[in-house]
Structure 1
Amino acid sequence: MNIKAVIAEDDFRVAAIHEKFLGNFKGIEVVGIALNGKDTMELLDKHNPDLLLLDVYMPDQLGTELLPSIRKQFPHIDIIMITAATDKDILLNALNYGVEHYLIKPVKMELFHQTIEEYLQKSQLIESKQEVDQDFVNQLFKKSSESNDTKEFTLPKGIDEITLVKVTNVLQSSESGLSAEQVSEQIGASRTTARRYLEYLITVKECRAEVVYGVVGRPERRYYKI
């Protein structure tokens, strides 16, 4: 999965931070940064991206004022608003145009990470199905707060959410499966730690394992994201 993203943010320093942050996610490529409304529309027309991080307060036009044109010209683009705007009418306007999420500055990195992670999971879920059933719809529309609350209370001792997300991302990026050693190298942790998280993912049915044999016949346990 390759998601093209555009960042529309009038502060170039903040835009650079967002670009660097998105670079941590495999499968997301930032194809352009716009500092105003005019440049935003030009970048969307040029790249036809999948995702737009959109600020509200830009020098020439409000981000919410762009929404009608964006939805008309790019009906399938996903939009996450990141803004200091706390006006209720602005929020309602954003919701009416199908904005995926609305993050109020200053945004905590944990919330930013969680939002992008949920967006990627939703995108992967949609990509995985050609036909839908009620279970699929329930997964697609489940409330993020409910899933996060459940995760917070069910994570066992020795399993923290940040590392768990890292391990999950690594597995999602590999179709051929990974060993605990390969996962440990990619997340920057010991093999023992990686194996602990991988085995936990198996218990919650988000991962499966198979024993494969190498050239010299030594068995190796490989993990696959479900």
Structure 2
Amino acid sequence: MLEPIHVVIVEDDFRIAEINRQFVNRVEGFIVTYVAKTGEEALTYLRSTEELPHLILLDVYIPDVEGLDLFWTLRSEFTEIDVIMMTAAKEVETVAETLRGGIFDYIVKPVDFDRFERTFVSYRKQKHLLTTKTELMQEEIDLLTGLQITTTPYKDTDERLPKGIDQLTLEKINVILHESDESGITALDAGSKVGVSRSTARRYLEYLVSIKEADAQLKYGDIGRPERRYIPWTE
């Protein structure tokens, strides 16, 4: 299991900052370690802290900096930190510039939690891939470079998901699957982690098997019935 992903929020409006903090802490695997109201405060913290965050939530409109100056300072000094823009700025030039700067995502205020959570679940999956493997298969690289939060990140992207399969729940189940150890995970364990029933988790896991995102194996214990466990698909 990955260590918690540390997040710094840079937001001058304390009410929005608190909402963002609550949103982050609602997503499993993330924790807010600092909230900065100004660019100076953010840079002072980052330049002095012993442990840098993994991710920064950044607003464009920060009172003591001009435009995207803070963004480019962060990209220059702290290349190892990922950035998600969370702002009311919708100008094409701003969006394009931040995309060129390598942001993970760009979320326009006001923020909807479902949209917010989708981004963070996708980020967590990317982080897991990049920190647990020494090499990536082409399909995994395609997932990273072509990741679109608003589309289905699976092999049937041109088709509608079958009835009873929700995209967000599917993403959560897939993340849990890839975070499991080599012995795999049961439907009961997956359901418990995601917050759904065992039968629901099994339905999603079997769907992942059907599209070759997962493999199912029977594990025999000393006593009792064999246990069906799921592991990430390997060629």
Q: Cα deviations across residues 124-164 of structure 1 (Å, max 9, x unaligned)?
A: 33334434675554333225178538548331011112322
Structure 1 CA distance, aligned partners of 2:169 and 2:135? 33
Q: Is the CA contact 2:72–2:101 (under 8 Å) kept in the aligned structure 1?
A: yes
Worse-matched range after superposition: 181-190 or 100-109: 181-190
Aligned to 2:134: 130
Aligned to 2:45: 43
1:40-189 to 2 correspondences below 5 Å: 40-45=42-47, 46=49, 47-62=51-66, 64-131=68-135, 137-144=141-148, 147-148=151-152, 151=157, 153-175=159-181, 176-189=183-196
Amino acid in the other structure paired with 1:33: V
Give the TM-score normalised by the residue count of structure 1: 0.85
Aligned-pair distance for 1:199? 0.7
- Residue 33 of structure 1: SS of its match in structure 2? strand
Give the TM-score normalised by the residue count of structure 2: 0.82
Q: Cα deviations across residues 37-69 of structure 1 (Å, max 9, x unaligned)?
A: 122112322132221110111232256211232
The 1:83–1:91 alpha-carbon spacing in structure 2 relative to 1, beyond 3 Å, is same
Worse-matched range after superposition: 72-81 or 139-148: 139-148
Aligned-pair distance for 1:218? 2.5
Q: Is the CA contact 1:184–1:194 (under 8 Å) kept in the aligned structure 2?
A: yes
- Residue 154 of structure 1: SS of its match in structure 2? coil
Amino acid in the other structure paired with 1:125: L
Q: Is the CA contact 1:36–1:59 (under 8 Å) kept in the aligned structure 2?
A: yes
The 1:129–1:192 alpha-carbon spacing in structure 2 relative to 1, beyond 3 Å, is closer
Q: Is the CA contact 2:6–2:55 (under 8 Å) kept in the aligned structure 1?
A: yes
- Residue 80 of structure 1: SS of its match in structure 2? strand
The 1:185–1:7 alpha-carbon spacing in structure 2 relative to 1, beyond 3 Å, is same
Structure 2 CA distance, aligned partners of 1:184 and 1:130? 29
Q: Which has the larger helix fraction? A: 1
Q: CA RMSD in A?
A: 2.6
Amino acid in the other structure paired with 2:217: E
In structure 2, runs of 5+ residues without a counterpart are: none
1:205-216 to 2 correspondences below 5 Å: 205-216=212-223
Aligned to 2:31: 29
Aligned-pair distance for 1:92? 3.1
Structure 2 CA distance, aligned partners of 1:147 and 1:63? 30
Aligned to 1:193: 200
The 1:153–1:119 alpha-carbon spacing in structure 2 relative to 1, beyond 3 Å, is same
User: How many residues matched?
Assistant: 226
- Residue 148 of structure 1: SS of its match in structure 2? coil
Structure 2 CA distance, aligned partners of 1:9 and 1:153? 39
Structure 1 CA distance, aligned partners of 2:81 and 2:67? 15
The 1:192–1:133 alpha-carbon spacing in structure 2 relative to 1, beyond 3 Å, is closer
Q: Is the CA contact 2:6–2:31 (under 8 Å) kept in the aligned structure 1?
A: yes
Structure 2 CA distance, aligned partners of 1:132 and 1:207? 16
- Residue 124 of structure 1: SS of its match in structure 2? helix
Structure 2 CA distance, aligned partners of 1:8 and 1:165? 27
Q: Is the CA contact 2:53–2:81 (under 8 Å) kept in the aligned structure 1?
A: yes
Structure 1 CA distance, aligned partners of 2:193 and 2:102? 35
Structure 1 CA distance, aligned partners of 2:142 and 2:136? 10
The 1:190–1:92 alpha-carbon spacing in structure 2 relative to 1, beyond 3 Å, is closer
- Residue 43 of structure 1: SS of its match in structure 2? helix
